Amino acid sequence: MTLNETLNEQLAIHNLSLERFREIVGRLFAAGIVLREEDGVEQRLYDDARRIETCLGEYFRLGGFRLEHNLKGEFFRLYAPGAEVPGMPEDGLEPVPGLRARLSPDFVAAALALRFQYQQGLSEGGNRLTDSGEVLTRFEELSATLQTQLKRALPPTSIERQRLLNDLKRHRLIRLAANFSMDDEDALLAIRPTILCIISDDMLEAALESEPQSAEAGADSAAAAEVEAEHASLQVMTEQESIEGNIE
């Protein structure tokens, strides 16, 4: 029996077509994640993926990929060979550079800042933490976290900032209300639990680690700030490669 025949036999047991299987696989390869609460289309994809979870896992495993199912968060995430999966042992495979997402330093820095805020929200609890495990924050709080923890600023123009938010949303790291506006100081964005799947505690700790490099007594504050900012920038670039490996 061929692999194709075996697959069709398994799909028939679950009353799913080969075309539907290809849709699910295509979405995972294209986006790296299927999140049930994203929209109606993704909800149906997730529900069908659950029915054939074993088939999907075996299919991706043949190519060295890992399919992880987060039951509490109701999402599937696909990891490329050699990816560093938070909380999971290494797969022992060589990374495939062509399978890594090309992420901008702004995206990586924002993701690290969101991860910091998410951890903070979990610790504080209260009305910042939603029933679905999201942590609510304001756009200005994201900006402040970037400045204080990573010594980086948001992109200078509103177009670049909106593009950054769109990228974070596309990778299912945040949720924005339909009427969200960066100009509204009270507008909230929701940091999704999916942030934990791409940035481990170790990655966050390494990015936030402060190692002043040349603060001789009497050095003026501007020079010290420049050195600190440069170090933070290098730290973000170091984490960029690790995070890229966790996002397709």
- 109 within 8 A of 146, measured Cβ to Cβ: yes
174-176: strand order across its sheet: 135-138, 188-191, 174-176
In this prediction, residue 219 has a pLDDT band, given cuts at 50, 70 and 90, of very low
- 85-138 pLDDT, tens digit each: 877 888 888 877 777 667 888 999 999 999 999 999 998 878 889 888 999 999
pTM of the full structure: 0.76
DSSP bridge partners of 137 = 189
- 110 within 8 A of 207, measured Cβ to Cβ: no
| Least reliable range by pLDDT among 25-29, 53-57, 96-100 | 96-100
pLDDT at 213: 40
Tokens coding 130: 């939603």
pLDDT at 216 over 50: no
SS (H, E, C) 79-148: ECCCCCCCCCCCCCCCCCHHHCCCCCHHHHHHHHHHHHHHHHHHHHCHHHECCCCCEEEEHHHHHHHHHH
Q: What does the domain layout of the chain look like in residue ranges?
A: 3-79, 105-244
pLDDT at 88: 81
Q: What phi and psi values does residue 69 have, to the nearest 5 degrees? A: -110, 115
In this prediction, residue 189 has a pLDDT band, given cuts at 50, 70 and 90, of very high
